[in-house]
Structure 1
């Protein structure tokens, strides 16, 4: 999806240049130079944002970061090396059957001219109206419950494992197959046993002997196995080991054991799930600010301004919140997903913020290029006109790429597919098309602060001087 985005941007610029230049080589050189900054900034934003996953405490996140970033790097390389070479070899025939001809005029963009005229007519009403729409979507964000999902719910299709768990629940305690494991100091045996016996969600407690048999079950009454001054308990829960209820029980046990004078460890499948979910929530709190900082720095370097990058970042964050809010509404009331894995909002954020800002990068780098000649307001509206078609195509391609994940019968994949696909389309058709152009048109040349490069500022300096 990213490789197609970068390729579309270069190809669209190449088509423009071929309408003004006879030489294919010269047009390629011009389009390559004009596209290099936007494509590089886009790839850098995505790759660095993905590498932020290296600070995660989950190995699955840590491995995804460099693997995906490597893919983005080679997409960037292919778009700026292999693609130009192929376009040069094919010449104008690469655009068959609509081969660009030298006209000296720009291509007709009737639809996008109308969109630009709409934004220009009432820019403040446009950006405030789109903000209201985005905030309305974000209002549903608290409905997103991303505290974890049981293994049986993750699988959306019928499996033998799910059928086996149902039979197990009918005849045995739900947690019989995966009891909680407790390791405690030997001197706390009675205290631990008392807490376990009193807990309403624990049906059976066994203390392991040297032979591996239960040490506390009559008539055997064996001595418990002591290793390095510690003893091992197994607690069978009334709840399925992979359920959220079992995780709550483990959390309660840990809280109660914390009051005892000694280190007591609670492990097992339920504890592992609990720890994974808590770690994922920690990653979300740490990685989100880190990614936002990375994106802001890249935008400041690319645009050589401060006000505009902050506006672009805030718009992207609001778009993400709106996408997540609408997703929560769809998950809860249409798809019937009452919960989500804690990594879903993290991956959704990484992909949407990093990829969503691409389209505003494509838009505003073109506007920056033309601002000295046309002025900020005319430049951003002209940029909206000439890039509208290619950015929309890129957004649809990327959304379709992620939507393809929905065929995988895993709740995690279906949720991520909808979040990213819907979010990318929201960025493409609302944020990039209406919100950003409306904001920039309304604010004017101040968006480039502290840079003074616009036509308006130059004219202002001339007037003051005269």
Structure 2
């Protein structure tokens, strides 16, 4: 499938190229101010990221109907192992009076523990954009001149928000800089040109600006929800995928410059031939991301359309701005290795030529051994655990978690993280009586009526606030009070885990179906798409097994975050299929000109270098997520990086060519290539890496 000649010629037109450049200058001038406002479009709506329709989400949505509105209390723990002194109580009371200025309501006196070794002060704070700032004021106050020997920690929702804000502040500005430096290094090694490497970076920068502006405008004027943390994933996705597409177009343009005297005609030919795999790649990633619209988890649901916008923005820039820039700049941009018309292609014997010959010698042995390597890595998943506790949300132990442990040691259950039971006011006595009888419930608080008097909200302290025991208690509480809603604390954890399990069951098959369909349309075959998808899925499990071994033994993480399996699968399958798609579509093109075996070897030789560079670029952009302080982001970054490298250097370069050679022309069944008799091979043209 080739791009229509007139459409392909627009960015390469002798006059149209200037119009396209001016158009993109205008777009960037408009986009840049709006893109800079994207961080302000991140909505502070905690319910939108929660499991859609779950009890805990409905409890959160009802919060505004109760006195004080939406609150995120800061809980201060004062602990002295030898027993709280009169000076400690005086200090807690002084803090209570001083913190009245930042509180969203009256602050009750500190509650002593039964063992006399702790005090707990609860400071109500508004759950708004100023939460972290107000939590910082609490921390400054309680840590100022604390009595010797008294442990003082801020915990609760406000403490957790402050810890996350502090962690992001340390790395936010460095992430994009590190990404640019890593990608620039890969491009310099690839092109060994002082100029050419700048063009993929420029297109990526423009894509980021345009994507950021579109997402911001849709968030402000069309109700698009932008979740906290989305921008980091979006930056990695847009930067990596735009640079990849730019590398693929540059490689095809270089080929055409050797065949064509006129650089405009060379670009037209490059666009027509590169458009199908690049557009199919973008369609695969976009449709895969849009499968997240079927997700139950609010964060997953929100990421789908935002990510799809980023991919389309990258596609538009690469297929219009980059071609116009290249034809304006001319051949010299490739200096010192300028492709001239009539130049002989590089001599045979490149790395990917040698790989192809060795694979072709014994293809069945090669793909069997390659698959065994993937299986061995996947075996690393044995004994893996899923579901991080709140203490491991950040890569370092946050102060709020230490405070939570202090309170758990001196108060029944975990009073810093109770569940909430919301019921009709008339039914409240019976509901609370039933809840109090549930094993695992450590205490039931006093019901708080809603502003309109129709509902009550009651805090219930569990003997264990996290883990399997807490989940079992929540299920029992819900069973004992079927007419009430149970949320917050361990109930929210349970709903999140259930939503993620639903998303894995629903979204993963949808993504596989979309990817398979796109490959079938592009390759006009069934066997090849099935084999390609199977290899990518195998590389996913291999990467997940290898990543778990790293997380457990190198990073010290006790479990995989519940988000990681789905996010990793989505990015690895959608992006991993890309490289196989570029390879197999070129193999099909070459096989149509000669015979199947020659097509496989030439396709590998012609695409090996550029796809390897693209894989390194994408691995670098996602690898930067490993610098983030959030464990989930680190795990997604490491998993996708391992998966892309496996797919680039083992699956795409070894296993897929070996399978294609072993299966033979049946690889293209039921397409015409499968039935066609082997054509006489044309004289082989040396592969270009």
Pair 1:351 & 2:571 matched: yes
- Superposed counterparts of 1:56-205, under 5 Å: 56-108=295-347, 110-146=350-386, 148-183=387-422, 189=429, 193=433, 196-197=436-437, 199=439, 201-205=440-444
Partner of 1:216: none
Structure 2 contact 356–601 (Cα < 8 Å) conserved: yes
Q: Distance in 2 between matches of 1:87 and 1:454?
A: 38
Which residue of the other structure, out of 363, 372, 375, is the alignment partner of 2:592? 372
Q: Secondary structure at the match of 2:519?
A: helix
Quote the Cα distance in structure 1 between the aligned partners of 2:264 and 2:409.
74
Name the SS of the counterpart of 2:552 in structure 1.
helix
Once the two structures are TM-superposed, the CA of residue 359 in structure 1 deviates from its matched residue by 0.5
Give the secondary-structure state (helix, strand or coil) at the position aligned to 1:144: coil
Map of 2:483 onto structure 1? 263
Residues 47-68 of structure 1: CA deviation (Å, up to 9, x unaligned): 1100111111222112111111
Equivalent position of 1:326 in the other structure: 546
d(CA) in 2 for partners of 1:379, 1:455:
16
Q: Once the 2 structures are TM-superposed, how far is the Cα of residue 232 of structure 1 from its aligned partner?
A: 5.0
Q: Quick one: distance in 2 between partners of 1:84 and 1:226? A: 63
1:57-93 C-alpha deviation (Å, 9 max, x unpaired): 2221121111111010011111111111111011111
Q: CA deviation at 1:23?
A: 1.4
SS in structure 1 of the partner of residue 673 of structure 2: coil
Does the CA-based 8 Å contact 1:9-1:35 persist in structure 2?
yes
Once residues 406 and 83 of structure 1 are traced to their aligned partners in structure 2, the CA distance between those partners, rounded to angstroms, is 30
The TM-score, its normalising length taken from structure 2, stands at 0.60
> Which structure is higher in helix share?
1
Q: Which residue of 2 aligns with 1:54?
A: 293
> Does structure 1 conserve the Cα–Cα contact (< 8 Å) formed by 2:418 and 2:488?
yes
Q: 2:269 is matched with which residue?
A: 30
Change (3 A) 1:191 1:65: closer
Corresponding residue of 1:219: none
Query: Separation in 2 of the partners of 1:263 and 1:202?
Result: 18
Name the CA distance, whole Å, in 2 between partners of 1:49 and 1:120. Answer: 33
Structure 1 residue 443 displacement after superposition? 1.0
Equivalents in 1 of 2:628, 2:542: separation in Å? Answer: 25
How much has 1:9 moved relative to structure 2? 0.4
- Please, which moves more after superposition, 164-173 or 327-336? 164-173
2:518 counterpart residue number: 298
Over the aligned positions, Cα root-mean-square deviation in angstroms equals 2.4
Relative contact order, CA 8 A, sep 6+: which one is greater? 1
Deviation at 1:183, TM superposition (A): 4.0
Per-residue deviation, 1:207: 4.1
Instruction: Give the corresponding residue for 1:440.
Output: 660
Q: Check the 8 A contact 1:54/1:65 in 2, yes or no.
A: yes
Work out the CA distance in 1 between the residues paired with 2:616 and 2:522: 25
Counterpart residue number, 2:475: 251
Structure 1 residue ranges without an equivalent (≥5) = 213-224, 461-466
Greater mean alpha carbon deviation, residues 23-32 or residues 165-174:
165-174
Cα shift at 1:187? 6.2
Q: Is the 8 A contact 1:16 1:107 kept in 2?
A: no
2:209 match: none
Counterpart CA distance in 1 for 2:435 and 2:674 is: 72
Q: Distance in 2 between matches of 1:173 and 1:454?
A: 71
- State whether structure 2 residue 556 is matched by structure 1 residue 340: no
The Cα of 1:339 is off from its aligned counterpart by 1.5
* Secondary structure, counterpart of 1:143 in structure 2: coil
**Aligned mates of 1:76, 1:285 — CA distance in 2:** 30
TM-score normalized by the length of structure 1: 0.88
Task: List gaps (5 residues or longer) in structure 2.
Answer: 1-239, 681-689
* Cα contact 2:600–2:660 (8 A) shared by 1: yes
Offset of 1:14 from its aligned partner? Answer: 1.1
